Structure formats: structure tokens, C-alpha cells
Amino acid sequence: MTRTSIAPIKAAITAVGSYVPEEVLTNQDLEQMVDTNDEWIQTRTGIRERRIAKSPSHATGYMATMAALNLCEKNNIDPKSIDLVLVATITPDYQVSSTAPYVASQIGATSAFAYDLSAACSGFLYGISTAAAYISSGQYQRVLLIGADKMSSIVDYSDRTTCIIFGDGAGAVLFEASKNAYGFESAVHGSNGIGRDYLNIHDGGSLHPVNENTFKEKNHLVRQEGRTVFKYAVKHMSEASNKVLEKHALTHEDINYMIAHQANKRILDATAQQLGIANEKVLTNIERYGNTTAATLPLLLSDYETEFKKGDKLLFTAFGGGFTWGAAYLTWNYDIKN
Ligand code: COA
């Protein structure tokens, strides 16, 4: 009896799209709102400005829809051919219902099922593993993964320790079976429930439902203990990245680009330094967008898509509320189609 071995299906990113609101909130604007200054923000975070979706109707679902339409239009993708729409977000349009089905309907992905994925700033990274698993198992052929957050809807613009960091935006990628040797290679994930004491929205969940003091105390808005989050972020992003590199017998020199969550430029620098990754390989958009939570990684892919060459080795890493974190290794699948 002869045995034929079937090569596993490798999932690859085959298209990218994005959307950021037009409205810009600069450090100078923030100087008028809280006790801060441009110099402090730039030196302590690397952020110059961020985008804010001012229109109330431009919520996460709208931004995710715009990013998905941008992807479909740029790459001539028929939305009806999409099997699954995943939206990574912590700012859904409604607490109940899921935002992804709305997005799927808006773009005309009539054959798709859709759901949200909630892992804060690690949401898109976890979504990469989820999308890749659906493709590799042969269960679905086209998975649209979107990272989108309207952080301005949960930020306290009187708290200088949080309002300077966050911005709004959305990015989308399409996963399909790779037609060459390139695509998703593997990922390492981690989490630690201790994190919910250091980064949370206190009220509005099942533990602390909204009560008569919620709005008075601003407990419906995001709070963090920045210094603690900073330390955990550097430790876990560098450890997870090292594990992924070791798994593939790679060194920092083999990596073409590090695509890391953009929470603070100093977190990025410290993580890259621990990994020995050269500055020019560390992609950034934090100076223009701030921390866009689940949108950060796909926005980076969109911003730098023209730089990537087929076969480039990309190291993704992220850290977020929960705590949640991880790293993923992908080989880039295509040269840009002009
Ligand atoms: N403008 C001016 N001064 C500020 C300020 C602001 N926007 N925010 C804080 N400060 C002050 C503090 O009050 C403190 O003053 P003090 O020394 O007189 O007490 C001083 O700056 C240092 O505060 P500290 O909290 O140690 O600053 P930091 O260097 O850690 O920067 C963060 C604060 C929030 C920018 C930083 O901790 C951070 O980025 N943490 C990670 C956040 C993160 O990743 N969150 C998302 C999860 S993915």
C-alpha cells in the first residue's frame, strides 16, 4: 500500500486595506485640554498626533466597513467570496450585538458568517492565529480579519495619563491559502489575569454593572497604571518574540521587519533592544496615529505594504489589556501590485 502525504495548507495574507478618520488631534490641541505639553508627549511616548472619529455615526463598525471596502476595491475582491469576517475590537458599536455581522452586511459579504474577537491590543494578533487556523484546517477559504477601535469613545479627555496615548482607526487583511511557500508560520500567545487590575474599564460589565455613580466617577472610561503596563509589555513582547524566533531557529538578523503594537515608542525601543533588532527594521506609525489598539498592526501593514517583498520575514508582537500578549512569525506572500 502506498501512502501519499498531503502538505498542510498554509494561510497567507493576500490583501490589505485601511481607514483612518480625517480629523487630527495634535499634541498642541491636547495642551488646551489637560496639563501637558508637546515636548513631554513626544519624548515620553513618541506621539505627535492621532486621528479622532468626531462624527457620532463614525463608530467602530463604520471604520471597519471602510477599511474592508478599501481592501476589496484595491484588490478587486468580491465580498460575496468571503467566508468569515472577524472584527477584533474592544469598542464594539453595541455591547450586545457583535459588530462583525454589521460590517459583513455593509460590505455585501452575504455568504459570510461573522463575529467579534476581544483581546484588547492583542486582538488582531490573536485574530491572525484564528484566521490562519480556519484556513489551514481547510474549513474556510477566505477570512477577512479586521482590527478596529474607536478609542476616543472610551477615553477620559480630562485624564492626561491616558488621553494623550490613544487614537481611532481600522485596518483589514484577507487570509487565503498560500499559493507559494510563504504565509503564516507560527505564533506564541500568553495571558495573565492579574492585568485586569492595571488596565480596565471598571463599570459596565457583569462584575460592576453601570450604577448611579458610574458617570460621576467616570468609571465607564478606560483607566491604566501606565508604569506597570509598560514593564509587563516589554517583558512579554520580547519573551514571546524570542520563543517564536527560537522555534524557527531564527536570529534577530534574519528578521526583515518587526511589526509591533504601538503603545509607546519607548516600549517599542526597549523591546527591539532586548531582541537585538535594529531600529530601521522596527516599523512605526505611533507618531501619526498613537495607540489604535486592535487597529495598530493592520494599519502598519497598510502603511508599509509597498515596502514588503515576497519572502520577507515579519515578526509581529503585541501586548494588551487582560493582560494578553503574543508574537507571530509570517513570511510575506506577495510583491505589491502597482
Ligand atoms: N503630561 C505631562 N506630565 C505627565 C503626563 C502628561 N500627559 N502624564 C503623566 N505625567 C507626569 C506624571 O504625573 C509624573 O509626574 P510626577 O513625577 O511629578 O509624579 C511624571 O509625568 C511621570 O509619570 P509616569 O507615569 O512615570 O510617566 P511614564 O513615563 O511612565 O509615562 C505613560 C506614562 C502612560 C505614557 C507610560 O507609562 C506608558 O506608555 N505606559 C504604557 C501604556 C500602555 O501601553 N497602554 C496601553 C496598553 S497596550
Smallest CA-to-CA distance from 317 within 246, 238, 255, 226 is with 238
Q: How many helices (H) and strands (E) does the chain have?
A: 9, 13
228 lines ligand 1 (CB under 6 A): no
Per-residue pLDDT reduced to its tens digit, 297-320: 999 999 999 999 999 999 999 999
Per-residue pLDDT reduced to its tens digit, 41-80: 999 999 999 999 999 999 999 999 999 999 999 999 999 9
Residue 236 is classified by DSSP as H
Q: Is 276 left (phi over 0), alpha (psi -120 to 50) or beta?
A: left
**Residue partners of 128: CB distance under 8 A and separation at least 6:** 145, 184, 187, 316, 328, 330
The two most distant CA atoms of the chain are separated, in Å, by 78
In the reported structure, the alpha carbon of residue 227 is separated from the centroid of ligand 1 by a whole-number distance in angstroms of: 7
CA distance 319 to 121: 6
**Residue partners of 251: CB distance under 8 A and separation at least 6:** 245, 276
In the reported structure, the alpha carbon of residue 265 is separated from the centroid of ligand 1 by a whole-number distance in angstroms of: 13
In the reported structure, the alpha carbon of residue 161 is separated from the centroid of ligand 1 by a whole-number distance in angstroms of: 5
Residue range 185-200: mean pLDDT, rounded: 97
Collapsed DSSP state (helix, strand, coil) of residue 2: coil
Per-residue pLDDT reduced to its tens digit, 104-117: 999 999 999 999 99
Q: What percent of the chain has pLDDT over 70?
A: 98
48 exposed, middle or buried (CB, 10 Å; 0-12, 13-18, 19+)? middle
**Residue partners of 222: CB distance under 8 A and separation at least 6:** 151, 154, 155, 156, 162, 166, 199, 200, 201
Cβ–Cβ under 8 Å, residues 143 and 86: yes
216 lines ligand 1 (CB under 6 A): no
Per-residue pLDDT reduced to its tens digit, 126-183: 999 999 999 999 999 999 999 999 999 999 999 999 999 999 999 999 999 999 999 9
All domains in the chain, ordered by first residue: 11-177 (3.40.47.10), 184-331 (3.40.47.10)
Does the structure show a pLDDT above 70 at 247?
Answer: yes
In the reported structure, the alpha carbon of residue 70 is separated from the centroid of ligand 1 by a whole-number distance in angstroms of: 36
CA distance 214 to 149: 22
317 lines ligand 1 (CB under 6 A): no
At 41, give phi and psi (nearest 5°): -65, -45
Q: Which of 34, 37, 44, 197 to mutate to test the pocket of ligand 1 (most atoms within 8 A of CB)?
A: 44
Atom 14 in ligand 1: residue holding the nearest Cα = 161
320 lines ligand 1 (CB under 6 A): yes
Does the structure show a pLDDT above 70 at 5?
Answer: no
319 lines ligand 1 (CB under 6 A): yes
Q: Is the pTM of this model over 0.85?
A: yes
* pLDDT band at 32; cut points 50, 70, 90: very high
121 lines ligand 1 (CB under 6 A): yes
Residues annotated catalytic, as ranges = 121, 261, 291
Does the structure show a pLDDT above 80 at 2?
Answer: no
What is the model's pLDDT at position 190? Answer: 98
* pLDDT band at 4; cut points 50, 70, 90: low
Query: Can you read off the three cell numbers belonging to residue 116?
Result: 467579534
Q: Are strands 113-117 and 49-51 parallel, antiparallel or unpaired?
A: unpaired
In the reported structure, the alpha carbon of residue 58 is separated from the centroid of ligand 1 by a whole-number distance in angstroms of: 29
Residue 271 is classified by DSSP as H
Q: Is 106 left (phi over 0), alpha (psi -120 to 50) or beta?
A: alpha
Beta-bridge mates of residue 319: 325
* pLDDT band at 336; cut points 50, 70, 90: confident
Collapsed DSSP state (helix, strand, coil) of residue 304: helix
